[in-house]
Structure formats: C-alpha cells, structure tokens
Copies of this chain bind each other. A is one copy, B any other.
Amino acid sequence: MVKRNHIVIIGGTACGPKAAARARRCDPAAKITIIEQGEDLSTATCGLPYYVSGVIENEDNMVARQPDFFKITMDMEVLTETRATAIDPKAHTVEIIDLETKQCSTIEYDKLVLATGSKPAVPDWEGKDLDGIFTITDIPDANAIRAYLSNLGNKKEVVIVGAGLIGLEMAEAFVSLECNVTILEALDRVLPTLLDSDIAAQVEKHLQDRGVRVICGRPVTGFQGDENGRVRKVMTRDTEFETDLVLLALGVRPEVTLAKDAGLTIGSTGGISANRYLQTSDPDIYAGGDCVENVNLITRKPVLAPMGSTANKHGRIIGTNVTGGKDTFPGVLGTAIVKVFDYNVGRVGLNESQARGAGYDTVISIVPSSEHATYYPGARDIIVKLVAEKSTGKLLGGQVAGPGDTAKRIDVLATALTFGATVEDLADIDLAYAPPYNSALDPLHNAANVIRNKQSGFARTLTPAEVKNKLEKGDRFVLLDVRSPLEWTVQRIEAEQVRLIPLTELRRRLGELSRDEEIVIFCRTSVRAYQAQRILDGADFKNVTFMDGSLDAWPYDTTSPDK
C-alpha cells in the first residue's frame, strides 16, 4: 500500500484553508491536517472594521466556512484551539499543544505549510497595556472594542495611532459609532507608505471634511491611565490628547517565530524567505500569506505584502505544490485599496517617492477627471496620479483617489504594470466605453497622454506643492487663472501673483502679459491650462508652465470671496 502524503498546515485564516482545499482537490487521497490556535477557520479578517461599525451585522458572516466543512466535506483533520509550538525539520515533526486541555503531542508531516500570518506592530510605549488600548486582528478583538465602547458614555473620544489602511477604515467605523476621532500619524501624511503627499493631502482633506481630526508628524511617546487602569491620555513629545479608547494601527509584522526557531531562512524584510514555488529554505516546508516575503514586480526586491488577496493566491499555489504539482508565484505590485468614507483610495506599483528612492528618473501626471461621461448623470470625480520612468516611458505606478470609481483604474494599472506597459501602451488600450461607464477616453488614457506630452516637451508643469512654495517664498511670477469669470467668482486662489484671463479671451489679451516673465497657468483640471500654455508657447512666451491637476488637485486653501 502506498503511504498517504501527510500535509500539515499551521494557520487557518486565509492561506492555510485555501492551501488545504486546493491540496484536497489535487489529491483526493492525501492526509491533510490544519492547526489553528483560534476557534474558527476562514475568518474574514479584512471585514473587521465593518463588523465593528455594524455594517456587517452578524458575526456568523465573518466566518466563511465552519470547521465541520473542512472535516466532513473536505475530509481533513482540523485542530482548532491548538497551537504549534515547535518544528523539527529533520524529524519532519510538529509539536502542538491543545489550548484547552494543555495536552502536548507531536505530529509527523511529509509536507508542512506555514501560514502563520502576522501580528500587529506595538512599540514598547509606556502605558501600552492600559485598559482601553486595542489592536484589531480577529473577531475577539472586534468584540472587545464594541464591548468597551458600549460601556462608555455618550461623548466618546477615540485616538487612532497610525494613519495606515486599518487606521483609516477604523476611523470611519468609530465615526459611524458616534465617536470623536483623532488620528495621530508619526510620518508627514496619511497612508504614508502608500501615497505621495499630493494624493495623501486629498485623502486627509476628505477625512477632515468628515469630522476626523488628522494630526501628522506627531509621534506618540506613551499613554496615561486613571486609577482604574483605563487609558485617559495619549502623550506625544509636546502635547497630550484626552481619550477614552485608543486603537493602535501601526501595521503588522510577519509572525515568524516558529520558522526562525526551526532554522528556516528569514529575509531582510523580516518575512520568511521563500522561492517562487513558495518553498522555504527547507524544501519540505512551504510558507504563504502574511508571514512570507514576496518579490516586488517593479523593483524585483523583497517586500512584505500582508493582503488577503495575496494569501489566497499563495494558498492555491502551495496546495498545488505540496501534492506534486509545480506552480509559481510571480510577485506583487503593492496594490492596495481602501474606502475612506466617501472616498475610494487606491494605489499600485511604486509611488513617486518610492520610485525615486529606487533610483528611477521619474515623470508624473496628476489628472482630475470624472469617472464617466459628464453628460451622463451621476458622474463622480477622481484624481489619477501616474508615475513613469522619464527615459523609457515605462509605467512605474499609479494612485487614484476620489468619490468616483477608482477600483477599476487601479486594476487596469495593476494589469498593465504586470506586463511592463509603457505610457504609450496604456494610452492605446481598448477599454470599454459607453456613457454610463466611462468617457470616450478613460482618465488613465488622459493621464498617460499627459506624461507623453511632457516627454515630447509640449507640456511643462509645476506641482501644486511647487506652486504653493513659490507663493510662500513671495516669488515674482504670474499665476494665471484661465477659468471663466463665473468659476472665479465661486472659488479662487488668493495671492497677489494671481491674474484671471479666461482661456476664451487669451489670444486677444496676450498684450496684458509680458513674454519674459514667468507664468504658471491653472484652471480646474489643467485641460484648459495646457491649452493656454501651448497658446503662449506659440506666441513666443519664454517661461510658461502649468500646474499639474490645477485647482482640483490643489489641497491648500482657496477663498470663495463672492459667496
């Protein structure tokens, strides 16, 4: 009789159950064991902020599959409330402990899968163990936050430490639960590892419009509690913030203790090192999900990608490979998307600062657009920022934010980046067009063409931050607004450098401008500003640029003088 292949999987959230299910489908005869320290398998941890807010009403909806499904239908052994405590790679064994009975035992494996996930990063701050300070990684955490909140009075102050994905999702959850929310971020902007400051500024503005106090560049130093050991204050170097509840949302770190103790190679990122078959330094041990490091497809460098999407892809590949198949994982693009109240915020590839950090000479475009034809009702706005390599036009990344459909554009960019597209390639893709879905040219087409216009020398720009900086320095230049008088009435940039000459009057009013002075043009989205720049170019003006994205991308103050 042939010995049954015994596949042991440690971790039951996303990668683990997926690997188990795939392995079962590939090999109906294999023996499969899943070890999970919690009560449930397949919990929808990405939905936790929506479970806290009550958008997802029922706890049952947070568990995709009951353990019995894996036991009975999938014919697996399922050890919940069981922790793996050690691996002996040589002996091919795993030590486990039943968390209820405290009984220890040893199981043998032929192939082992590490899907140990990640744990929240928590610095060693003073007071970090006070009551009312939470992290959120599982359903018990979510229930604890809900319970703690329900015991507070009506006026609830919440401080979220960290303006990453979970921090922003939880900000919305807490606001919907009628809390006053303050976000403290140590770095200079929200979503600092994901977005450039220009796009982050748009997101921050939206958060503040929705009543969230956002304070960036303010590292936390510790917490103070009351006599009952409940958190009351969040301390920074020079201020303190009163609070009733604190959420630590400082990102996650790969959980690699077992792997490290077993002598497996840990990569420079802190994640378990794995080859493209997701095999660790021990060929009989595979690793996937949050605990493993991935290759960034643009830089080819190792990165962490703690995402449910990646974990599920890993799971399928591992399930194939532990049953004798050969499937490979190519890598990740750092794709992320997050709902921030009415804003949809996405990013993929490298942002401008990452691209420069990686040594690329970059060219960017910032293009505000409608999500579909403006003449079709209900079109919402988005801003697209593209980053490309200057010499080749190779696309490096994109960021999209706004109330409109950003997910579609991020996914198109993810696909284009996967295949090494240039901006020229992107400009010509035959995307789907009908008025309820898009404009004849997609915002990505336009954003790609703006970069091509810059490459050909037709378009020359300053970013909003550069213009703001010139205004603050008191530079002598003309900041030329080419919008209509009506638009000027409703909203304008207030500065002595600003002049209004509507685009429609520009050709006949050229005499009002000097050919040698510096002129920076803007309108609402930069379509007219670019046209104006080309008119001035054609009339032999020597020092003309326009502002990337114009007023729609201007995150600073404007005035509405005639309102």
**Chain A residues with a Cβ under 8 A of chain B:** 14, 24-26, 28-29, 44, 46-47, 50, 55-56, 61-62, 64, 68-69, 72-75, 165, 169, 297, 305, 307-313, 316, 325, 329-339, 344, 346, 348, 373, 375-377, 405, 407-408, 410-412, 414-416, 418-419, 421, 425, 427-438, 440-442, 445, 449, 453, 456, 458, 503-504, 506-507, 530-531, 534-535, 537-539
Distance between Cα atoms of A47 and B439 in the complex (Å): 11
Q: Please tell me if the beta carbons of A28 and B537 are within 8 angstroms of each other in the complex.
A: yes
Distance between Cα atoms of A332 and B333 in the complex (Å): 27
Distance between Cα atoms of A504 and B72 in the complex (Å): 7
Distance between Cα atoms of A310 and B441 in the complex (Å): 9
The distance from the CB of A278 to the nearest CB of chain B, in whole angstroms, is 12
Q: A316-B449, A407-B408, A410-B432 are in contact. List 15 more A-B contacts (CB 8 A).
A: A24-B534, A25-B534, A46-B434, A47-B435, A56-B376, A69-B504, A73-B506, A74-B531, A297-B430, A335-B430, A348-B432, A408-B408, A411-B411, A415-B431, A418-B419
Q: Which of A29, A68, A313, A456 has the most CB of B within 10 A?
A: A313
Contacts of A75 in B (CB 8 A): 507
Q: A346: which of B308, B336, B432, B538 is its contact (CB, 8 Å)?
A: B432
The distance from the CB of A325 to the nearest CB of chain B, in whole angstroms, is 8
Q: Please tell me if the beta carbons of B534 and A337 are within 8 angstroms of each other in the complex.
A: no
Q: Please tell me if the beta carbons of A309 and B433 are within 8 angstroms of each other in the complex.
A: yes
Contacts of A407 in B (CB 8 A): 405, 408, 432, 437-438
Q: Assess A415 versus B434: contact at CB under 8 Å? Given A56-B377, A504-B72, A531-B73.
A: no
Distance between Cα atoms of A343 and B434 in the complex (Å): 13
Distance between Cα atoms of A44 and B411 in the complex (Å): 27
The distance from the CB of A108 to the nearest CB of chain B, in whole angstroms, is 23
Distance between Cα atoms of A339 and B537 in the complex (Å): 43
Q: Please tell me if the beta carbons of A312 and B348 are within 8 angstroms of each other in the complex.
A: no
Q: Which of A72, A338, A408, A411 has the most CB of B within 10 A?
A: A411
6 contacting pairs across A/B (C-beta < 8 A)? A50-B435, A169-B434, A335-B430, A337-B432, A337-B434, A407-B438
Q: Assess A431 versus B411: contact at CB under 8 Å? Given A47-B375, A73-B504, A440-B14.
A: yes
The distance from the CB of A386 to the nearest CB of chain B, in whole angstroms, is 14
Which residue of chain B is the closest to A427 with respect to CB atoms?
Answer: B313
Distance between Cα atoms of A304 and B550 in the complex (Å): 38
Q: Please tell me if the beta carbons of A440 and B308 are within 8 angstroms of each other in the complex.
A: yes
Q: Please tell me if the beta carbons of B427 and A507 are within 8 angstroms of each other in the complex.
A: no
Q: Please tell me if the beta carbons of A440 and B25 are within 8 angstroms of each other in the complex.
A: no
